Structures are given as structure tokens and as C-alpha cells.
Amino acid sequence: MQIHTEGVHSKETCSQAASAIRDALYVIGGKWKLPILMTLASGPQRFRELQKMLETITPKVLSKELKELELNEFIKRTVHPTTPVTVEYSLTHYSTSLQKVLIELRDWGFAHRQRLRASLRASKSEQVLEEK
Amino acid sequence: MQIHTEGVHSKETCSQAASAIRDALYVIGGKWKLPILMTLASGPQRFRELQKMLETITPKVLSKELKELELNEFIKRTVHPTTPVTVEYSLTHYSTSLQKVLIELRDWGFAHRQRLRASLRASKSEQVLEEK
């Protein structure tokens, strides 16, 4: 991996970097935390809206993830005094520190999906050629 | 979150971005894959070396993670014909596509650790003031 220019080169620095990544994953790891934060980037959302946008998440898991994100100061839970009360979740200022991580993961995710599609197309056209 | 400049602003684009992040996490998510790739950034390593550098990983989990990373073309397993045989793991060219993700996560992990330390120091000095 060409990250020598970034100051990562020896076993020791790579080991420290791996440890920093483990620290990061300890708070933002798992299947849902980063997708939830990205979903909230368009503005405050209610529980049901989030659930709908995240498609396959269960209410139990979403509730647990939101609590952990609130505890770690990435999101804020606001109760509006309507009848019945309205609860909204929004990003905190601290969550903006994750902006670059989210953008890089998003870009990589898009590129990876395209790569998979291209390789699928390639194997399909090979099949067609074999069948001819 | 100020990612409007990056082209993410509507609910729809945020939802697509969240979906791309989920795609990414599907292959590189979990506690160990990214730390393993970062550890290998210093050069090829043997199983025992990796295990030592990653400290708390069990051999069973490391073995499983290495197999999955190999299957997804992020690492290469090379068997050298020594007596006994030597097995080395190294990064593939495709793993370089994850460089920015790794660097951003590393930097965020470092910054987050410093933030936690600063907040710990602040709460300790508050305690000292209260005790006086």
C-alpha cells in the first residue's frame, strides 16, 4: 500500500495506525452507525423516517444505535412539545469531524459496487461466448 | 453536517450515500479487517507476526478474517517453499483503493482519543477543585 508519503512506513507506525483505527471502530464500527449518520446529513429526522430510509434495520436495533450515538455525542435527540410529542434526531457539531471518513467510505462503496458489476458483466459475456 | 459542498444535500442523495456506505461495510466492516490491512501496509507479514501486532485477536478469528480478505482480493497469501513452508500475507493492488479510507479513519481515531483524554483531564481537575 502506497501510504509511505503519508508518514506511515515502519512496522511501529503501522501498528499505531492500526490501533487508532481500532479506537475509531470501537465507537463508530458496526453495520449501522455510519449509515445512520449519513442519513441524518440531509437534516433532522424522526425515528420512523430513519427506519424507512435505512430499509432493513429493525426498530430495536435502530433504537439501540441511536442511544449509543447520542451517548457518544454524535447526535442530539430533541423532543418537541406537540400533541402527541414529536422526537427528532439531528447531527451534533462533533459529528462533522466524521465528514471525511463518511465521504471516503461512500466513494469507496460506490466504486466497489461498480467493480463488482463490471466483473459480473465480464463473467456473463464469457458464459455467452462459451455457449456459442 | 457540512457535506453540501460535496454534492450530498437532499434526502435522496443522503440515502444513496448511506447505501454505498453499507455496501462498503459489508466487505470491510467488522472489528478487524481494516486494522489488518493497516498492519500489512508496512509490508508482507506472517500469521504469527500479524497476531502479535494485533494483540487481542484470536488465531481462529485472524484466520477467518484473512480468508475473507483474500476472497475479496484485498490480500494475497504466498507460500514459500522453505522447510517448513513459510506463509506470508501481503496487500494486493486493489487494497490501495482503500488507502484514503484507512488514513481518514486513522486520523479520526487519533483525534478522538485525544478528545477523550482532554475530557478526562478536565473532569479530573474539576474533581480536584471540588475536593479543595
Sequential pLDDT tens for chain B (132 residues): 545 444 446 888 999 999 999 999 999 999 999 999 999 999 999 999 999 999 999 999 999 999 999 999 999 999 999 999 999 999 999 999 999 999 999 999 999 999 999 988 888 888 887 777
Percent of chain A with pLDDT over 90: 78
Task: Nearest by CB to A1, from B6, B96, B106: name it.
Answer: B96
Task: Nearest by CB to A42, from B14, B29, B53: name it.
Answer: B14
Question: Would you call B71 an interface residue with chain A, using a CB distance cutoff of 8 Å?
Answer: no
Sequence-distant (6+) residues with CB within 8 A of A27 are A33, A72, B112
Question: Would you call A7 an interface residue with chain B, using a CB distance cutoff of 8 Å?
Answer: no
Q: What's the confidence (pLDDT) of residue B9?
A: 62
Question: Would you call B61 an interface residue with chain A, using a CB distance cutoff of 8 Å?
Answer: no
Sequence-distant (6+) residues with CB within 8 A of B62 are B32, B36, B47, B50, B51, B54
**Res A29 pLDDT > 60:** yes
pTM: 0.87
Q: Which residues pair with A77 in a beta bridge?
A: A89
pLDDT digits (tens, 9 = 90+) for B13-46: 999 999 999 999 999 999 999 999 999 999 999 9
Task: Nearest by CB to B96, from A2, A6, A39: name it.
Answer: A2
Work out the pLDDT band at A7, boundaries 50, 70, 90. Answer: very low
